[in-house]
Amino acid sequence: MAGSVMGLGQAAAEPLSAPSFGGPLRPNPDPMSMDAGVFGRVHITGQLTGIGNAQTNGIPGIDPRTTDPLVDIGNAQIQVQTTGAPLTFFVQGGVYSLPSLGSAYTRATDVTDQFYGPVPVAYGKLELSPNFSVQAGLLPTLIGAESTFTFQNMNIARGLLWNQEPAISRGVQVNYSNGPLNASVSVNDGFYSGDYNWVSGLLSYAATPSSTITLVAAGNFAESGKTGAATPLAQNNSSIFNVIYTYVDGPLTLQPYLQYTTVRSNRDIGIDRSAETFGGALLARYAINENFSIAGRAEYIASSGGDCGVAADCAPTNLLYGPKSRAWSLTVTPTYQRGIFFARTELSYTRIDRVTEGYGFGSNFDKRDQVRGMFEAGVLF
């Protein structure tokens, strides 16, 4: 529908590039927008979703009651962005939940307060040429195959590999695109530390119309002793490497990827032993018809190093469920969407192998497995 008074209305156009949607959920193709003259066009989008969660062997978190079945806010977010001008901006604000497998469930209000605040993503972007752009601010990570918020992903909860990755960083990013080739380089603060000592790089190549390979490398070039809910000490002093392959053929999407992380020992900041993780995952989704789809995820991750042995003056470096632990998970997520409305359920199973005492599931941290059922429904406007 064309604009009305003050140019306000809904105008069908090219899909907005942010926030990204990895499917099967689809954004509103005709979001509210208005003409802003020399500033281009302003678009307003958002998500209002609720989540239900029930699990066995829940891990106590900020609120110990979250080990019991609960209903929570999934997303109460809004995005305002401009397009069609050399200088554009994107601002995302609201309340959000960040559920992930193998970790304690934290309510949306606590996540928003403890992690990235009520404005998790905000940046300006300058188009220098048709091929080059620069953006700066609160940026989504370049790392990994899964995005930060529930509505962006195939599954409701993020996976075990995602737990090793930064989600949002403050920084500056340079982008280049030329046909099938895309590249980005960012200087940022890694796991939201406030110390700008990380470099992230991404290179993707669309080999065919249906297949793309992506290489990612990131890491810190100076140590940081910062720690917090969004800033785990060991991971914030790590290096991360991804190889991601994406295959799309009609209703089928397959996305296998590999991930390697390494942390160097540095006793000055409290990392007594070096440690590593190596993991692999397969994400898949299939659209049964226009409204129904099913998504799945299988993943495995193993950690090595980090063990102190008999050293008395040493703290082990834990990246997973204790030094040298292993874990795997299976997830299935049937989804229904009609227009801007959607509903989906999820069943997942997570298993820990070689768990270190005190690092497992359950109220006593001594259980090896967890079954989780989730439900999410809402509106993508």
Assigned token pair, 125: 């972007």
Give the span between the Cα atoms of 41 and 3, in whole angstroms. Answer: 11
Give the span between the Cα atoms of 149 and 20, in whole angstroms. Answer: 10
Assigned token pair, 179: 């046909």
What is the predicted pLDDT for the residue at 14?
Answer: 67
* Domain 5-380 homologous superfamily, CATH: Porin (2.40.160.10)
What is the predicted pLDDT for the residue at 186?
Answer: 99
E-strand spans in 250-325? 252-263, 275-287, 292-305
pLDDT digits (tens, 9 = 90+) for 319-337: 999 999 999 999 999 999 9
Residue 262 has pLDDT above 90, yes or no: yes
Domain parsing of the chain, residue ranges: 5-380
Residue 3 has pLDDT above 70, yes or no: no
Instruction: Please state the rounded mean pLDDT for residues 146-172.
Output: 98
Instruction: Pick the more confident residue, 99 or 11.
Output: 99
Question: Alpha helix locations (H) across 32-165?
Answer: 108-114
pTM for the model: 0.93
What is the predicted pLDDT for the residue at 310?
Answer: 84
Indicate the pLDDT class of residue 13, thresholds 50, 70 and 90: low
Give the span between the Cα atoms of 163 and 146, in whole angstroms. Answer: 10
How many CB atoms are closer than 10 A to CB 370? 22
Assigned token pair, 116: 């990235």
pLDDT digits (tens, 9 = 90+) for 282-312: 999 999 999 999 999 999 999 999 999 888 8
pLDDT digits (tens, 9 = 90+) for 333-351: 999 999 999 999 999 999 9
Could you give the percent of the chain with pLDDT greater than 70?
A: 96
Kindly report the average pLDDT of the chain as a whole number: 95
pLDDT digits (tens, 9 = 90+) for 173-224: 999 999 999 999 999 999 999 999 999 999 999 999 999 999 999 999 999 9
DSSP state of 230: T
Instruction: Please state the rounded mean pLDDT for residues 165-176.
Output: 99
Nearest to 334 by CA among 279, 282, 262, 286: 286
Residue 214 and residue 242 in contact, taking contact as beta carbons nearer than 8 Å: yes
Specify the DSSP element, H or E, that contains 125: strand 121-127
